[in-house]
Structure formats: structure tokens, C-alpha cells
A and B are shown apart, each in its own frame.
Chain A
Amino acid sequence: MRKHLTDGELRAALDGELEATRLQHLDTCTDCNERKEQLQTESQQSARRLAFLASTDGSVPSAQKAWGRFSQQNRIRKEFSMFRKWFSFPVVRFASALILIVTLVLAFPSTRALAGELLKLFRVQQVTVIPVDFTGLEQLTGDGALGNQFTDLISNSINVAQQPGDPKEAADAEQASQLAGFTVRLPQGKNPSQIYVTDAAAFTLIVDRAKAQALLDEAGRSDLVLPETVDGAEISVNIPASVSVSFGTCPKPTPDSSKVKEEQIPGRAYPDCVILAQIPSPIVNAPADLDINQLAQIGLEFTGMKAEDAASFTSAVDWTSTLVVPIPRNAAMYKEVTVDGVTGTLIQRPSDDSPKFALLWVKDGILYAISGLGTNSEQAIEMANSLP
């Protein structure tokens, strides 16, 4: 006599999924049939509750329209992904990736403004935004030969003098001010959930013109020619300690943003998180004969910007005092707003699945940034205006 059917086999029998040889036993076994009936009663309850999962009622949104949304969002995601990859380079991993990359690529003082001085000094007094197509930098941020060449160039050109280390938690604004070395401002009537201080960082960049030009050539942009004077130029960058104040449930700041994995849909993990960051202006020293306008123009053209647009932008910016923030061209929009008694810039990423906003402004030599998720950017403006 064959052995009795297991509960699993009886369940398969109820679903018409039991193999024929085992079904034969069921035909003759009273005991198994009794157990099958018990199991049926048991599973009918669940089946009744779960039956709505099989419903095919209700209309389905047009696949054509959905494909349109998919294509648009996919482009935005791709561009934003490039943006994130770009900012995750080792050299950009310090407290303020944004400031650093801008400093390296664009924000050097103009020769006209400081002609005759041995060193040029850069300090942030205002912010301006430039939309850049980051997909133009895909080759540099990828794992291909060009990406490796770029990584080598950066790592061989940079000497890190001071690493910022892991962010330290501060109990309150007073302690954060002591640790950071400047007066930290907190919005009135709001209780921060976390305050972190990231130490100062410093590095020196020595330009290797031959390697940088070879990279441009390799990328198919031999039309962009770096000036001879750039070779061997030493640029030092000092980034002061910064403070990050979180409101709501926020992730702990990490010195390496490239290791942050988004397990959920971007933006849904911390829906009520708003972060206020404060950092005194970084200081950049560069040789007096460095033609910043020309370098900025080359950088912008490399991203795909037309020569005349790049020229128009570079000539309109006061490089001695302006923090130029590159934003993804198709994935973000911006406008000027008055906050904290000065003019600030509100950047919004109007994505369907993960809208984000960032408000940037400079006051009394301190750069402030409020960033959050969602579309309610008004809260950033209110927070900025409530700073004492």
C-alpha cells in the first residue's frame, strides 16, 4: 500500500495539480479524502479573502501614454544618474561635492579681475546655476577605457592634504558651532532630529596638460585645445568644516555618497526629510596667469554646450565670487528667490516618482543649502526666512 498523501499533495490535488500516480491513491484512501475535505474547508477561507486578486475589472491606463511617461522619466533618470556618478568621484566625496566640482571645473577667478597678483583667491559670495547635459559626460563616468583614463588623471593630479573623516554628531547648535568654527544658525520653531559636523578638507591639484589633452582627444573632442599655460598649474583648495542639520527622518550623512544604495523607489525612503547645510566659503588659490574663462568654456563645450552659449555664459559670470552650480539640464529647473534678506536660487527636480528641491544662498560668507524631497519647496523658503 502506498503511503498517505501529505498536506502539500492534498493541496495540489485540490488545485488539480497533483500528478496522476498519486491521484490513484486518493481514489481509494478514505483517510486521505477526509483530510482533503478538512484542508479544503481551511483553504476556502483564504481563497475567499484573496479572490479579489484575480479580478480583471477596471480600466488600464493607455500603454502609449505610459510609454511616453516612461521615455521622459527614463531620460531624466539617465541624466540624473550621470549627475550622481559625476559627483561620486573620489575627489568629490568630501563634505561638499557640489562646491568642489564647481571649483575644479568652472569656478576660478578671472585673470582680468586679479591681474598682477601672484595668486588668485576665490570666495563664494553668490550662487548662479548652469544647466548642463550630464549625459555628455557618460563616457568619463563609465567603466570603459575613457572612464579609467579620467579616474587615473584625477587621482594622479590630486594630492589630498586633509581628509574630512566621518561626520560627527553634535548635541545642539552650540556644540556644532564649536566643532565647526563658525556660528551655526537654526530655524526658529523647528526641532532638528540630527546635527552632524564634517571636518575641513584640503587638497592640491597640479594640472598635467598632456594627459588632460589626450583625454579630450580620446573622447573625440580634439577641437577643444587646452592652453599651454595650464601645464603644471598648481591649484589649492581649502574646504572649511560644514554642518548638516536634519529635520524629520533622514539618512546619516556619509562621506562617500556613491555607496548609498536606493533599495526603494528614490525619494520614498525619507519622505519627510529636510536638510539644512551650512558651510563657510571654500578658498581656492590659483596661478595668476590661468585663463579661467577659456578653461570654463572648454569644460562647458565638452558637455555638449554650443561654443557661443558657453562663451556667453563664461563672460557673464564674475568668477571671483560666484559659485556656479551645474544642474542636469533636462532633470531640473531653477528660479531666483529672495530669502534670508538676499537673493537665492531654488532648484527643483520635477520628477513624477521622486521630486526634490534645493535652495541655495550665500550670506555673510556662509553658503546655505536646504534640500528635501517632494514638491513643497515653500517649506525651504519658510525655513530660510526663519533663520535668526
Chain B
Amino acid sequence: MIGSMKNLKTEVAETVQEESGSSGFEALFMEHWAHVYRILHRLLGDSSEAEDLALETFFRLYQHYPLPEKEFNLGGWLYRVATNLALHSIRSWKRRERYELAAGRYALDETPEDHPAEIMAKEEEHRFVRLALAEMNERQSQLLIMRHSGLSYKDIAKALKLAPTSIGPLLVRAEREFEKHYRALAQEELP
């Protein structure tokens, strides 16, 4: 977790876009594509959905292009928009049904040597996590996603436009809220 935290820290480093025109945007796209895709893939567990929403994130960014210099926190903006799109997608029951199936299939494809029952149990847990995050207040969900993806308090504060000292208290509240939703969902599924 700590190792990946360092990688992600660099991934969300603030970028100031000074170029203009489509070649400038292409460079920006190339630089951030993998990062945005990974955020979405982890959240959704579905590669095609992640790719669609990653493209949608860049469409939305393109609407702001050329980006305002200096004050625009590109890393934070991408994180915020991508996670919002993912949470919105999870909330939609039709999409949810689709990604649940896709997530299970993906997991089996990726780790064929593992025991299917264990994989399914793990995916079931991931499913509850995703649903719990989608049910929560958007800012609390984003906070948890960012922190547990390895972002520092400073980067989270910048992305969500919060004071760095408020991250600790907000995390405590968000994790308690998350546990409440998670347990309620798991309880619902009990036979």
C-alpha cells in the first residue's frame, strides 16, 4: 500500500497545461490515460466500462481546454471527475447488474490458478464495497477512495478543495459511515 502510495502521489502531481490545440491535448491525454483508466478499473472491476468512463472523463476535460494556467489542479480534477462518474455508474441498477457479472468473470479470467470459491468470495466483498461507496455521500466516498488508493492528505485536500487538517477527522467519519453501509448491505444478502 505504501509503495503504491508513492506511485500514485506522482500520478496526481499538479500539471499546468501551457500548450494549446489538439496536439497539446493529445500529449495530456497520453500522459494521464493510464492513471484515469486504473482509477476507474479498480472502482468498477469492468474493463470496458472503465475505458468508456475514462474517455468520458477526457471529454469533460476537453470542454475546459485550454486549461487555465497554474491554479488548475489537473490531477485532482481528473480524480474527482473519474470517481464521480464511477460512483454514478454503480448507482445505476442496470449498470450495476452488468458490472457485477463482468467483475466476477474478469476475476476468474485474471487468476485462473486460484480457487473459484475464494475468488467469488473476494469479488462479493468488492461488490459490497462498491455499493457501499455508491450509497454514501459523494465527498465521503471520494475521500475514502483517494486515501485508500494511496493519496497523501495534501493531495486529497488539494483535489477536494479542503484544508489538510480536516482530512483526518473527515476520514474517521467517512470510514464509520462506510462500515455502516457495508454491514447493512452484507446483512441484506444473508440467507
Asked if B34 and A60 sit within 8 Å, CB to CB, the answer is yes
Q: A8-B168, A9-B168 are in contact. Are A51 and B148 (CB under 8 A)?
A: yes
A interface size (C-beta, 8 A): 44
Distance A250 CA – B42 CA, assembled complex (angstroms): 32
Distance A265 CA – B148 CA, assembled complex (angstroms): 26
> Quick one: closest A residue to B8, CB to CB?
A54
Any B CB within 8 A of the CB of A74: yes
Any A CB within 8 A of the CB of B10: no
Distance A43 CA – B34 CA, assembled complex (angstroms): 29
Any A CB within 8 A of the CB of B69: no
Out of A7, A47, A61, name the residue touching B169 (CB < 8 Å).
Answer: A7
Stretch at the interface among B13-21, B53-61, B70-78: B53-61
Asked if B4 and A60 sit within 8 Å, CB to CB, the answer is no
Asked if B175 and A42 sit within 8 Å, CB to CB, the answer is yes
Q: A43-B175, A56-B38, A70-B29 are in contact. Are A8 and B169 (CB under 8 A)?
A: yes
Q: Measured between C-beta atoms, what is the minimum distance from A51 to chain B in Å?
A: 7
Q: Which residues of B contact A21 (CB under 8 A)?
A: none
Out of B30, B89, B149, B168, name the residue touching A12 (CB < 8 Å).
Answer: B168
Q: A15-B153, A70-B58 are in contact. Are A51 and B1 (CB under 8 A)?
A: yes
C-beta contact mask, A228-264 vs B, less than 8 Å → 1, else 0? 0000000000000000000000000000000000001
Q: Which residues of B contact A77 (CB under 8 A)?
A: 59
Q: Which residues of A contact B33 (CB under 8 A)?
A: 60, 63, 66-67
Asked if B169 and A74 sit within 8 Å, CB to CB, the answer is no
Out of A12, A52, A67, name the residue touching B126 (CB < 8 Å).
Answer: A52
Any A CB within 8 A of the CB of B90: no
> Quick one: closest B residue to A18, CB to CB?
B168
Distance A55 CA – B165 CA, assembled complex (angstroms): 27
C-beta contact mask, A44-62 vs B, less than 8 Å → 1, else 0? 0111011111111110110
Q: Which residues of A contact B148 (CB under 8 A)?
A: 46-47, 50-51, 53-54
Q: Which residues of A contact B149 (CB under 8 A)?
A: 53-54
> Quick one: closest A residue to B164, CB to CB?
A17
Asked if B175 and A53 sit within 8 Å, CB to CB, the answer is no
Any A CB within 8 A of the CB of B41: yes
Known: A8-B169, A63-B33. 5 other contacts (CB 8 A): A50-B129, A54-B4, A60-B38, A66-B29, A69-B55
6 smallest beta-carbon distances between A and B, as pairs: A8-B169, A12-B168, A8-B168, A50-B148, A63-B33, A11-B168
Interface residues of A (CB under 8 A from B): 6-12, 15, 17-18, 39, 42-43, 45-47, 49-58, 60-61, 63-64, 66-67, 69-71, 73-74, 77, 264-265, 268, 271, 352-353
